[in-house]
Amino acid sequence: MTSESLFSSSSVFLTQEIHLESTLQDLPLYSFTVDIEQPGVALTRIFETHPFIPGIILTDQGKFVGIISHRRFLKMLSRPYGRELFLNRSIRLLQRFVSDKLLLLSGNTPILEAAKKAVQRDTEMLYEPIVVRLFPEEYQVLDTQQLLLAQSYLHQLATQLLHEKTQAQLIQTEKLVLLGQMVAGLAHELRNPLNCISGNSKFIQESYETISMVLAAYEQKFPDSGNDIKHLKENLDLEFVKQDFPDLLKSIQVSSERMNQLVSSLRSFSYMDDSCKQETDIHDCLDSTLLILKSRLKMGIEVVKDYDNLPLFPCYPGQLSQVFMNLIANSIDALEEQMKKDWNYSPTICIQTKIKLLSDSDFNSYHHSLSNHEFSLERSDLDETKDYLYIKISDNGLGIPDEIQAKIFDNFFTTKPIGKGTGLGLAISHQIIVEKHGGQLILNSTLGEGTEFEILLPMESQDLSDSE
């Protein structure tokens, strides 16, 4: 008995219908079936009617036993007495002369993985069709050429997507540069009126103190002033003004000082010049970042700082501030999510700094963490004889699932809704630490317990090239 059901029209290979995650069942599959007790001429009729099919499924009492490819069938018939030997006898005889080295794959096999296995076959089997198992007892045939065409298309698609992502990253980088320039300009423009407010408030305070002394001298000299003066003092509530005015001046001075600190933080954060490194106080960078994020830290989030005595460190301060901003902002996001679920939760961010000399256990721990994220770490990457500037930013938030940790430093990877994140923050942070400063950025996270990022910067980083 012969089954002549060709692939459905919805399965036809159209490049626009497949994507990087497509599997073999998304490609055209052929399901012509012949029982091996049928004469070989049954194969001839199918191949003559459908000359472009790659092969035919062979069954024995309804069970799959193999395939006969169009190419091998023609090869067998071209042998001396081939037509007389195989066409009028059962296909079972023909099957004995056909190689049983089939490549059998599941229909869920990704196209790229299947193509890799197909080209790894022996030369004589290289262009033999592939058997695709869709269900336990349902087998169909895939043309190897169609598979390789699909692989070629997917490579082109991957190249195009990579190009588009690169262009998007360049645009995002340009936006960040423009934003940095705008922030720097805004900070500069704010600095002048702030200096005016701060300087004049001190002058006003000194003037007020002088005027108060003069008024006190007048009151002492002329205690019995006229009724007009008394009524004027009562109408102006002079006693209240004398008590409240110093506090008003003090609040103006405190506010202007805070604004000055904020402007300094914005200028430091927006300074992205990487032409040369600067001797930098790392704690100033961290504190400036916390000041910028202060409005988001008012939700009951506690910041615990464990700062060691650190020397000035040669680095690109604007870039490190950007790293700190990304890491701390991510911690705040995680803590806010946890706070929505647990009202009794005590959100905490811990920031630790110190000078660290690595041990064998440190290296093994870092090697394990980086290998989980598809980064390799060799002994040469971390020098156990060298001091490192160590910065750890941790939180007691939700933690990060393992499958997300593996992609956390990928460009454009984000778990945030559209418009809430670009997927570039951690990727850029990793690039700044590893490529710009010759260090390591290491993630450790346990689901349900929290997340920590460890930054290791070699103390001799000034030996690195200052021209990237």
Q: Give the pLDDT confidence of 421-460 residue by residue, as tens digits.
A: 545 678 888 888 988 888 989 988 888 889 999 999 998 6
Range(s) for CATH 3.30.565.10 in the chain?
Answer: 276-468
Residue 189 pLDDT greater than 70, yes or no = yes
Lowest mean pLDDT among 66-75, 85-94, 459-468: 459-468
Residue 37 pLDDT greater than 80, yes or no = yes
Residue 375 pLDDT greater than 60, yes or no = no
Of 76, 91, 75, residue with least CA distance to 35? 91
**pLDDT value at position 306?**
95
Q: Give the Å distances, CA to CA, from 329 to 55, 294, 321, 323, 348.
A: 59, 11, 12, 10, 13
CATH superfamily, domain at 2-142: CBS-domain (3.10.580.10)
For residue 170, how many other CB atoms are within 10 A of its CB? 10
User: 0.85 exceeded by the pTM?
Assistant: no
Give the CATH number of domain 276-468; options: 3.30.565.10, 1.10.580.10, 3.40.50.720, 3.90.850.10: 3.30.565.10
For residue 55, how many other CB atoms are within 10 A of its CB? 25
Name the more confident of 33 and 94.
Answer: 33
Of 465, 444, 460, 275, residue with least CA distance to 367? 444
Of 156, 74, 67, residue with least CA distance to 105? 67
Q: Lay out the sheet containing 302-307: strands in order across.
A: 302-307, 348-357, 387-395, 450-458, 440-446
Give the CB-side neighbour count of residue 313, counting CA atoms within 13 A.
25
Give tens-digit pLDDT for 402-422: 877 777 776 555 655 544 554
Element containing residue 262 per DSSP (H, E): helix 238-270
Give tens-digit pLDDT for 269-308: 665 555 688 899 999 989 988 887 887 887 789 999 999 9
Range(s) for CATH 3.10.580.10 in the chain?
Answer: 2-142
Q: Lay out the sheet containing 55-60: strands in order across.
A: 2-3, 33-35, 55-60, 63-69
CB burial of residue 353 (10 Å; 0-12, 13-18, 19+): buried
**pLDDT value at position 466?**
46
Contact 7, 30 (CB under 8 A): yes
Give tens-digit pLDDT for 46-85: 998 998 899 999 998 889 988 888 888 888 888 877 787 7
